[in-house]
Structure 1
Amino acid sequence: MSIHLRSRLGKFLLGIIAAVSLALALAIAMMRPPLGDLLQLALLFGITGGASALLGFFSHRLGWWRKLPRLSHTLTLGYALAAALTLLNVWITARLMFINAHDLALAGLLLLFAGGISISFGYFLSGSITQTLRDLVRGAEQVAQGNFSVQVAAPGQDEVAQLARGFNVMTARLARVDAETRALDAARRDLVAWASHDLRTPLASLRAMLDALADGVVADPETVGRYLRQSQNEIARMSALIDNLFELAQIDTGHLVLQCGASSLSDLVSDTLETFTARARERGVLLNGAVAADVDPVWMAPDKISRVLANMLENAVRHTPSGGQILLSAATQNGSVHITIADSGPGIDPDDLPHIFDRFYRGEKSRQRDGFSGAGLGLTIAKGIVEAHGGRIWAESKPGGGAKFHVSLPKTGGSAEAPV
């Protein structure tokens, strides 16, 4: 026997004992019967109360209410049994008290009338309970069919209302998870398409150049050297794309390991600017840097923050037209390090701005290949790395007024090596 069943049976027996005790107390206070009549009345109450307890126990054991098709029928039958027990107790008591036949018949008629009213009232009340349960059943069927937007009315404060509210919370969460899952699936399909495109072009070029070299179509040393250099560039492009995918997978699974320590951010800024100087010069873009004297040291993983700077600077160089300029600056603000990359490009479309850090998202402009590899992953990876450091990253832009990317990092941190 379960704990809940023992608790319900215990409360049921306590209710019967309380009813018998209250009835005897009222009889003594109102009727003052002789001792013999009081004992007889107590015996009657005890027998009928015990019979009621046995009936309730065996009803529970047999589980007859589970065979009824509707809960309203079960509740109505319960009211009917309660009315029948009341009628039986009063009838037996009246017979023992030698009430005349006319009064006994009148009492029985009144009890039958009261029992009918009680049953009708109970059926009416049960309808409000079962209606919510029927709504829950229909809602569960819709959820089973994939409709997670269903909601059920939950009036009241009883257990059924709590169940309905819990159902609504569940469906709301399922709807949110379903939307996120669908968006992620769509993004993954886009990733496969974009990655396939970004790999197909360099692979085709690489195959053509290697075939030309293998077949002896190209023989002069200058052309051979140029083909080999182009092959190396294509291999580097594919390698960068694969590295991006691998690092994004580490971020998604929480296996990105940060080897943090007190490091020089000014050195990272200088190295990043030096790396991109030649590329920016080819595009006619001027790079500038400005680092405050009090920036260093910063508690960070230098290789990861260097990746963040490179991804953001590459994005800025890609979208800044010839004759434009880019400023990479770093300063200390309220115990944190604030890094800003500002460009003089056309800015970010307002429709794209809320999504530029989303996985696999690429605005219309960034989908155009211009010699840089990637499938819309650079800013997503930068966001994951910054957040793994306990910082945040965001962007500001006005159409035609350039774009600003901001990174805020805490100057101090925790353990030297930790997966995130």
Structure 2
Amino acid sequence: MSLEVLPAIAVAAVVAGAVGLGGALIVLAVARRRPALAAALGPLVVIAALGSGVAASIQAMVLPKSAVSAVLWLLVAAVPSALVVGLVLAVRTQRLGADRAAAVAARERDAAAESRRREVVAWISHDLRAPLASVRALAEAAEDGVAAPADAIRGILAENARMSGMVDDLLAYSRLHAPGVRLQLEPVDVGDIVSDVLATAAPIAQAAGVRVDGAVVGDAAAVADPRELSRAVENLVLNGIRHTPRGRAVRADVARDGAEAVVVSVSDGCGGIPEADLGHVFEPGWRGTSARTPGQGGGTGTGLSIVQRVAELHGGACSVENVDGGCRFDLRVPGAGAQAPRSSSRRATGS
């Protein structure tokens, strides 16, 4: 190598290094927000640094114009290749980022689901102690002659029913939150489902001194899983009965919301829920105010979370708001067809 070209090489190295460093800083800044764009710019920074170095070295050397043109055209010819490489890197980076985000989200969902399942199991284990203790106490009382056998048997059967309900809640919660769960969707009349639920809940409401009533306005045809939808409506109605004082009423009204959805509105007389607690009522086992403490009356604290999950699996939603004297839960499911609501109405019997 001739000593005469050393100054030109030094100049080229300095200029190329400065341009490359500046480009690298820009790429790093862009990578914080848009990694794919940064990957596409990387090869172009290399070409820019190389071109700047060559241009600087040309200024320091005396070269024929033809040689200078050839070098510049070579650099220009390399730009498309750099763009292709940059685009490939950008696509790959974007895919890797999306895969990583999906993996992180999946791990977070699995962790949250596992945490919820463990909490539900813990709640069930804790709440089962009370009826088990009652069964044992009743059996011992009957054995010792303290209680009449008939009374003990009635109490044991009541506690058994209570435990069965708790286990059913646990199984329903686990099934609805299992990976790959699918509903058996079919055309249903939501009004008929609500009427059946009210008829079933009427004896429970009568024993609690609460009236149950409702109405179906317009077309109540929907596409839903009748078993799961019935469970959700039943949970809302029983929840309302449990928290409504004697002498007041629980209503379950059905109406169509445009052409896309059917809404079941369950109103109770609980006196309302504090605004700060409204966002927590669908959390499994959430312990809020005494007016809405899960587990009272033999529940597990999963009833409203099951309602929300059923709504989500149907592609709908469930919401709650305070109304005069109580609160109202709105369970929304997809309607069948796109026909407009009819003006006719019918009563949803049950009391």
**Helix, strand or coil for the counterpart of 2:271?**
coil
Q: Select 2:200's aligned residue among 271, 275, 279.
A: 275
Deviation for aligned residue 1:349: 2.3
**What is aligned with 2:317?**
392
Aligned: 1:118 with 2:12: yes
Describe the shift of the 1:251–1:350 C-alpha distance in structure 2 as closer, same or farther (beyond 3 A). Answer: same
| Superimposed CA distance per residue, residues 239-265 of structure 1 (whole angstroms, 9 cap, x where no aligned partner) | 222222222222222454544444443
| Structure 1 Cα separation of the partners of residues 93 and 262 of structure 2 | 49
Aligned: 1:309 with 2:233: yes
Aligned: 1:372 with 2:266: no
**Helix, strand or coil for the counterpart of 1:407?**
strand
Question: Which letter does structure 2 place at the counterpart of 1:372?
Answer: G
Aligned residue runs from structure 1 range 118-267, under 5 A: 118-128=12-22, 158-159=41-42, 183-184=112-113, 186-213=115-142, 216-218=143-145, 223-254=148-179, 256-267=181-192
Describe the shift of the 1:175–1:152 C-alpha distance in structure 2 as closer, same or farther (beyond 3 A). Answer: farther
**What is aligned with 2:242?**
318
**What is aligned with 1:300?**
224
Higher relative contact order (CA 8 A, sep 6+): 2
Deviation for aligned residue 1:181: 5.9
Question: Which letter does structure 2 place at the counterpart of 1:201?
Answer: A
Deviation for aligned residue 1:119: 1.8
**What is aligned with 2:345?**
none
Q: Which runs of 5+ in 2 are unaligned?
A: 44-85, 338-351
Question: Which letter does structure 1 place at the counterpart of 2:121?
Answer: V
| Structure 1 Cα separation of the partners of residues 19 and 101 of structure 2 | 30
Q: Is the 8 A contact 2:116 2:284 kept in 1?
A: yes
Aligned: 1:406 with 2:289: no
**What is aligned with 2:264?**
339
Describe the shift of the 1:387–1:112 C-alpha distance in structure 2 as closer, same or farther (beyond 3 A). Answer: same
| Structure 2 Cα separation of the partners of residues 314 and 345 of structure 1 | 12
Question: Which letter does structure 2 place at the counterpart of 1:158?
Answer: L
| Structure 2 Cα separation of the partners of residues 128 and 177 of structure 1 | 38
Deviates more, 1:236-245 or 1:254-263: 254-263
How many aligned positions are there? 286
**Helix, strand or coil for the counterpart of 1:352?**
helix
Describe the shift of the 1:185–1:262 C-alpha distance in structure 2 as closer, same or farther (beyond 3 A). Answer: closer
| Structure 1 Cα separation of the partners of residues 119 and 208 of structure 2 | 29
Describe the shift of the 1:172–1:259 C-alpha distance in structure 2 as closer, same or farther (beyond 3 A). Answer: closer
Q: Select 2:275's aligned residue among 343, 350, 355.
A: 350
Aligned: 1:291 with 2:232: no
Question: Which letter does structure 1 place at the counterpart of 2:194?
Answer: V
**Helix, strand or coil for the counterpart of 2:167?**
helix
Q: Is the 8 A contact 1:338 1:406 kept in 2?
A: yes
| Structure 2 Cα separation of the partners of residues 153 and 334 of structure 1 | 41
Identity of aligned residues (%): 28
Deviation for aligned residue 1:312: 0.5
Question: Which letter does structure 1 place at the counterpart of 2:293?
Answer: R
Q: Could you state the TM-score of these two structures normalised by the residue count of structure 2?
A: 0.67
Describe the shift of the 1:337–1:134 C-alpha distance in structure 2 as closer, same or farther (beyond 3 A). Answer: closer
Deviation for aligned residue 1:342: 1.1
CA root-mean-square deviation:
3.8
Deviation for aligned residue 1:405: 1.0
Deviates more, 1:276-285 or 1:325-334: 276-285
| Structure 1 Cα separation of the partners of residues 96 and 16 of structure 2 | 26
